[in-house]
Structure 1
């Protein structure tokens, strides 16, 4: 494989590259799209992307892409969670002794939400997902990161655990047709 070129985009720049974002999604999720799950449809995915990057909600959103042989083959993005973040709605923590209110208390500087990470299937198994993960998270100043992972996706789940993520609970997002995900946490600034 030739050199990997990483590029960073803020929300406005990401919106300007909307077609590219959708193209990478269609390649990375082709099997899920073919299964006709309404949550995985390109239209539903791009509706979520538009919401994440909307000017009134896009504070400090960051997209990182990776290019190999002049083709963008992967992407990841996220943003810091602000006060009263909708991210935590419906959270069920595994540890009943954890103070729920303290766990979800956000300042905009405490938790970074890693929302998406995807790689074109032709390029999987080459460490690109991990490289994207590190490229996005290593530059963060927050104390922790969170992500939602489908517990029925063993490849992703195994990778996240190997990279240091730990399960904290479950959550079903407010998006139409959303499944229940496992909530994983990661300590930043290691």
Structure 2
């Protein structure tokens, strides 16, 4: 008998994601238990939800896509991202690893080039079952952009190893303009 859960996946656009705000916060609280408990202001549910509200703002609707995984009627995990528009803030503080990189050409966005994968989170009781990879693959499989980028905390070794195994490569660092944001590694993955 197979004891693995059967997940149902729901795709949402930014308007639908805003309507699922309570679910988003619930999954965050059940996924980032240790980070929230650390007391780091950046990881507080309030600051996280403030960032989520910005990501899904109707005024900023730029190809936002989200997937929520459900098991037995309960949310089990979620992932989302959006297409980077021209002059994307994503690249504002980018410092490449390769000093010879033409940063202007590398960070130039036209609204069709790069998908920014912002979050992958799995509720603690669902970890270790392949759900993060399933969310990742479902979100990226439908993308038409040429590449994807994500930010990861350098000391998040579990996530880092997973991203490397899934084909992501570090290209530099950045410090987002969010209050209390840490310096993050910038990873890239070709999609086509």
TM class by shorter chain equals over 0.9
SS in 2 for 1:173: coil
Deviations 1:61-111 (A, max 9, x none): 111011112211100000000000011011000001110000000011000
Determine the structure 2 residue equivalent to 1:184: 187
Determine the structure 1 residue equivalent to 2:154: 151
RMSD: 0.6
Determine the structure 2 residue equivalent to 1:86: 89
Q: How does 1:97-136 map to 2 (within 5 A)?
A: 97-136=100-139
Determine the structure 2 residue equivalent to 1:22: 25
Stretches of 4+ aligned residues off by more than 2 angstroms: none
Number of residue equivalences? 189
Query: Counterparts of 1:59 and 1:184 in 2: how far apart (Å)?
Result: 21
User: Unaligned stretches of 5+ in structure 1?
Assistant: none
Query: Counterparts of 1:151 and 1:41 in 2: how far apart (Å)?
Result: 19
Query: Counterparts of 1:70 and 1:54 in 2: how far apart (Å)?
Result: 27
6-15 or 55-64: bigger deviation:
55-64
Query: Counterparts of 2:95 and 2:62 in 1: how far apart (Å)?
Result: 27
SS in 2 for 1:83: coil
Determine the structure 2 residue equivalent to 1:62: 65
Query: Counterparts of 2:62 and 2:83 in 1: how far apart (Å)?
Result: 8
**Do residues 41 (structure 1) and 44 (structure 2) align?**
yes
Deviation at 1:59, TM superposition (A): 2.2
TM-score (norm 2): 0.97
Tell me, yes or no, if the aligned pair for 2:62 and 2:85 is still in contact at 8 Å: no
Deviations 1:110-167 (A, max 9, x none): 0000000000111111000000000000100000000000001000000000000000
Query: Counterparts of 1:58 and 1:30 in 2: how far apart (Å)?
Result: 29
SS in 1 for 2:115: strand
TM-score (norm 1): 0.98
User: Unaligned stretches of 5+ in structure 2?
Assistant: none
